Amino acid sequence: MSALTAQGLSKHFNGLVAVEDVTFEVPPGQVRALIGPNGAGKTTLVGMLSGRIVPSSGRVTFDGDDVTNWPAHKRIASGIGYTFQITSIFPNLSVWENVALAARRALSTPASVSQVVATSLSRVGLVDRQAEDAGDLSYGHQRLLEIAMGLAQAPKLLILDEPTQGLAEGEVTAFIELIAELSGETTVLLIEHNMDVVMQVSDFVTVLEAGRVLFEGSPDEVKASAEVQSAYLGGDDAAA
């Protein structure tokens, strides 16, 4: 059984086609990268998967349930973790409380919340910043905080929208290790522009162009595909 499927998903904004007839499946435990040029419809697509955006047509199933008509909060509560493309945290609350809010929904005791918060923060390396206001963190650290908030929910599926944007090189390496740790237990759907990251972490890649699936295959196949090269990578030396 697939962890997540999209069947014929389309989204039209007043006649503008953002996503057109996208069908794909993500098996459990897979790290799936979603790539494509700007405006290809990646964020709209994951918006429909997470419930933020109502599709014009098509169906979404998650973990065996047809979730097409579920509101976003219900999908999240059923095990989808979501991080925003544009960092969305609680800037006036402490780093600790940010993660605690994510953990608290599913947990009943304060002790278990503290424990999950501690683990999540240490996985992204923000433990020593936990008392600070989240808004005082650097942009890169705010991205990491958002990932920690995703982890704290112990999701079955983690959707990450450009998680490495704005991260320093060392932090990107740490992120790659983090995803490697997650793979197998958590299904990950990753929108990513950094091709190094895509090549290193993903098991499978879906390429989107102009709202449609252009190509699907292993990272190596994507690299080798002439179609993808011309549509997205722009030439054979653009992968770097």
Partner 1 sequence: MTTDLKKSLLLHGAVLAVLFASQFVLPAYHHGNLARVMILASYAMGYNLLFGYTGLLSLGHALFFAAGLYGMGLAMSQFDVGAGPALVCGVIAGTLVGAVIGMLALRTEGVAFMIVTLMFAQAGYLTILYFGTYTRGDEGFVIAQPDRVLLGLDLSDPTVRFFAAFTVFCIALIMCLAVVKSRFGKVLIAIRENEDRTQMLGYDVTRYKFSAVVLSASLSALAGAAYGILFGYVGASFASVQYSIFPLLWVLLGGAGTVLGPLIGTLFMFYLIDLSSGITTAYMLIAGVVLVLLTVFAPQGILGELRRRVWKWLP
Looking at 3-11, 18-26, 72-80, 195-203, which segment touches partner 1 (CB under 8 A)?
Answer: 72-80
- Examine residue 73 and tell whether it contacts partner 1 (CB under 8 A): yes
Q: What is the nearest approach in angstroms of partner 1 to the Cβ of residue 75?
A: 8
Q: How far is the CB of 149 from partner 1 (least distance, A)?
A: 7
By CB under 8 A, residue 50 contacts partner 1: yes
Phi first, then psi: what are they for 144, rounded to 5°?
-65, -40
Question: Interface with partner 1 includes 199 (CB under 8 A)?
Answer: no
Residue 115 interacts with partner 1 (CB under 8 A)?
no
Separation of alpha carbons 57 and 140, rounded Å: 36
CA angle 126, 192, 72 (to 5 degrees): 75
Characterize 202-213 residue by residue with b for buried, 16 or more Cβ atoms within 10 angstroms of its Cβ, and e for exposed: bbbbbbbbebbb
Find the binding residues for partner 1 in span 152-171 (CB under 8 A): 153
Q: Does 91 bind partner 1 (CB under 8 A)?
A: yes
- Residue in the block written with tokens 């079955």: 156
CA-to-CA distance for 28 and 185, rounded, in angstroms? 8
- Residue choice 12, 17, 59, 84 for contact with partner 1 (CB under 8 A): 84
C-alpha 190/C-alpha 187 separation (Å) is 10
User: Cβ closer to partner 1: 87 or 206?
Assistant: 87
Contact between 128 and partner 1 per CB under 8 A: no
Amino acid at 37: P
Cβ(179)–Cβ(186) below 8 Å: no
**Residue 229 CB, nearest approach to partner 1 (Å):** 35
Q: How many CA atoms lie within 13 A of 124 on its CB side?
A: 27
DSSP-derived pairing of the beta strands 80-83 and 157-161:
parallel
Per DSSP, the three-state class of 4 is strand
Tell me which amino acid residue 168 is.
A
Task: Decide if residue 82 touches partner 1 (CB under 8 A).
Answer: yes
The binder of partner 1 chosen from 89, 116, 189, 190 (CB under 8 A): 89
Asked if 54 touches partner 1 (CB under 8 A), the answer is no
- Of the candidate residues 17, 93, 174, 239, the single one contacting partner 1 (CB under 8 A): 93
Q: Answer yes or no whether residue 149 interacts with partner 1 by CB under 8 A.
A: yes
Q: Where on the chain is the footprint of partner 1 (CB under 8 A)?
A: 50, 52, 71-74, 76-77, 82, 84, 88-93, 97, 100-102, 104-106, 149, 153
